[in-house]
Amino acid sequence: MDYKDKFIEYLRKERRYSEYTVNGYEENIDEFLKFLGAKNLNVLEVSKDDIRKYLKYLDNLNLKNSSISRRLSSLRSFYNYLVSNKVILNNPMKLIKNPKKEKKLPNFLQYDEFMKLLESIKNADALSIRNKLILELLYATGLRVSELVNIKLNDIDLNNKVIKTLGKGNKERLVYFGDYAKDLLSKYLHNERKELLKGKNNEYLFINNQGGHLTTRGIEDIIDRIVNEASLKHKISPHVLRHTFATHLLDNGADLLSVKELLGHESLKATQIYTHITEERLRSVYLHSHPRAKK
């Protein structure tokens, strides 16, 4: 049995990794061994320069940085195993760093897509009104889903259209909502919520069909069903509505510091990613609209 096979057996039997994870390690190491074979290099005599050549090879394949990082992580574990079992003295991966993570722009909805979600809820029963309010409040406030499910009745100031919420790090902040959300919230509080309670007592705003506290998983399932009903093609989660809230505010002239406070971000850096979205939007509009932008 060679060293790679022993390592894979170690992952499977001693580390008890899942078969899926073990297969991923094996594929990554086999790919590396194939590269070494083509260069007539011995896996036990590899240098840092050889690893850098392999990095260049991976880069030339136009792989994402995340894919390259996974391959390097597999090799790092493999060589750590060889060192700990005294097969080799020095780990050639020791000073090799993973490439920087790509900045993934948040997914968000166009306003007409958000309206399509709302309009797909055609019924007027208690659950439908509750579900419509969930969408309205996520979009109106930018709340995280964990914050939304923990809204209590005494957190809501209906007249001033304000909700008090407890965010990450138990940091309290105020979020605001507009007239559309206010009208629907008022209707829900006076009618549908009482119907869903079925005579039970519950301090939380959102109630499930048994009169209990609606969970984050429950809201995710509700939104999945609404998205299917609306026949929207891309994946939409509660967090996509939070991204949509921030993007639409910035697109319509809100300043970055205000959006940061509304989102409950600790630093401005977390909010700045939304400026990349609006810059891309402007660039797209320019290229599409200006008569001399394209030949």
Write the CA distances from 260 to 85, 102, 293, integer angstroms. 50, 22, 34
Quickly count: other Cβ atoms within 10 Å of residue 110's Cβ.
11
- The active-site residue out of 76, 116, 182, 239 is 239
Place of tokens 């020791």: 94
Q: Which of 4, 59, 77, 73 is nearest to 34 (CA)?
A: 4
Tokens of 205: 């705003």
- The active-site residue out of 168, 171, 198, 281 is 168
Q: Is 274 noted as a catalytic residue in this protein? A: yes
Q: Is 239 noted as a catalytic residue in this protein? A: yes
Q: Which burial class, exposed, middle or buried, applies to 216 when counting CB atoms under 10 A from its CB (0-12, 13-18, 19+)?
A: middle
Q: Which of 114, 26, 116 is nearest to 78 (CA)?
A: 26
> What are the backbone dihedrals phi and psi of residue 262, each rounded to the nearest 5 degrees, phi first?
-65, -35
Q: Which amino acid is at 113?
A: E
Q: Is 168 noted as a catalytic residue in this protein? A: yes
Return the half-sphere exposure (C-beta side, CA atoms, 13 A cut-off) of residue 290: 10
Q: Is 76 noted as a catalytic residue in this protein? A: no
Torsion from C-alpha of 166, 170, 173, 178, nearest 10 degrees = -20
Instruction: State the Cα–Cα distance between residues 194 and 199, nearest whole angstrom.
Output: 8
- The active-site residue out of 4, 71, 132, 144 is 144
Write the CA distances from 116 to 45, 67, 119, 162, 286, integer angstroms. 61, 36, 5, 26, 26
- The active-site residue out of 4, 242, 243, 248 is 242
Quickly count: other Cβ atoms within 10 Å of residue 102's Cβ.
9
Q: Check: CB of residue 64 under 8 Å from CB of residue 106.
A: no
Q: List the catalytic residues.
A: 144, 168, 239, 242, 265, 274
